[in-house]
Copies of this chain bind each other. A is one copy, B any other.
């Protein structure tokens, strides 16, 4: 069944140039073993006919599509948007295309999406922070080559991640240095990998500072979640807040502002991620800058290495830099 009519094929070029298919193929692929004059004639007719090899047919015979897939839990999340951007641009430099799959936070959908998109591509970059560790381990072999983003190190695939633990530790040290002795952590999704990393930082800090109390409050990952816990935060009596991310911090900032609480005089608030708007809140948000676009580029590098059979990248970790702005200050007393 012939669709997309009008498209010129290699057969057309061969006929017009009076040569065989193979010769055209060789010329188009820069295969040197072709008479220069003939090659030139083929190139001319190809140009004249506006011929380009059908990528689908090439993919089928070559076994590679020059396309990779990226699975994200939520395209509305600024972090994943940045990862996608970094990934897309890096892949484009090497002539690869990117297929996006948004699981819309449906954890069980991620698996299907990953397997499905993998079959139409040469590899997958998997952002699945909430997927069960066992399910992930079981999934990875079926996806190879694959790169995992922001998860604990894996046996079966390189992991590209931000070091949430170190960065949060720095943030805690910053607040501790400002005299804060009672903090509260606004936890994100319990099952998520980066939330676990953050909790390790909390445990480290508690162990290191006997005089430091860190409460934990269940929270979501978006603006509304941050606003919703405002009363609980104020009731808890902490002088400093470690928000799960910037969105939560901004929601909290807004909500406590409505209640007449001054930041940072009455309460210090630290975010996480350094999304583009973190610097424009009032006051600007102290946060840890997760280099999402760079993570995307790292992911491509790790995948590209597998694709080309180069020395595999086992893992890449970037430590978010703590950015001190005006939402944190000396502890209220």
Contact = CB atoms under 8 A, between A and B. Distances in A.
Interface of A: 1-4, 52, 54-57, 59-65, 67, 75-76, 81-82, 84-85, 88-89, 92, 97-102, 104, 117, 119-120, 223, 250, 254, 277, 280-282
Given A75-B85, A98-B100, 7 more contacts: A3-B64, A84-B100, A88-B101, A92-B102, A97-B101, A254-B280, A277-B277
Contacts of A75: 81, 84-85, 88-89
Given A81-B75, A119-B54, A99 B63 contact: no
Most B CB contacts (10 A, CB to CB) among A55, A65, A104 go to A55
Contacts of A223: 280
Nearest to A54: B119
A60 B120 CA distance: 12
B54 A56 contact: no
A52 B116 CA distance: 9
Copies of this chain, how many?
2
Contact of A56 (B2, B4, B81, B120): B120
B62 A1 contact: yes
A19 to B, nearest CB: 23
21 contacts: A1-B62, A2-B63, A3-B62, A54-B119, A55-B119, A56-B60, A56-B65, A56-B120, A67-B99, A75-B81, A75-B84, A75-B89, A81-B81, A88-B100, A98-B100, A99-B99, A100-B100, A223-B280, A254-B280, A277-B277, A281-B282
